[in-house]
Structure 1
């Protein structure tokens, strides 16, 4: 995506594949995207394409939380929401994988 932004109006790719959904919004704002043809858009559920018809989703991701049942009681201690992990009782007890695609 950096190359597209650097080349500006000189960039003319036929297809762009991004792992980061935020990139689509930036490319749309910068007017790099064109509306896809209806015969393609109509094959993709509306939930998985842009309202402007500029892109379609090809894959999805899921995040899971694993825990040690010897230290956390699944009946009483598990958070009800991801936001519950902001409770001070979890400080120093959890770790997150990187949010970027490299896994490093």
Structure 2
């Protein structure tokens, strides 16, 4: 079995694109709100990588000491088949595996 839709057999390259929102509120004049020092993250996820294992961590930088990031995974109207493979901890920004990947998972891509 060769590459499937551009993905090599046995692993998938995960790319996260980050959106930086508007200022948090008018209570912080001149504040630009949270920002991401890195706009793109990429990581390789391997066949057999165990469920619950961390994949990567997203970092957000606050303008003030009172700002706190909350991280969410957003999908499009037609989420990719692999979107349920991951979950993101809203407090820490750590992306985890939801399941151990098998070869049949990659055949669906």
Considering Cα pairs closer than 8 Å and 6+ residues apart, tell me whether 1 or 2 has the greater RCO.
2
Structure 1 length as normaliser, TM-score? 0.23
Q: Report the structure, 1 or 2, having the larger helix content.
A: 1
Question: Which protein shows a greater Rg?
Answer: 1
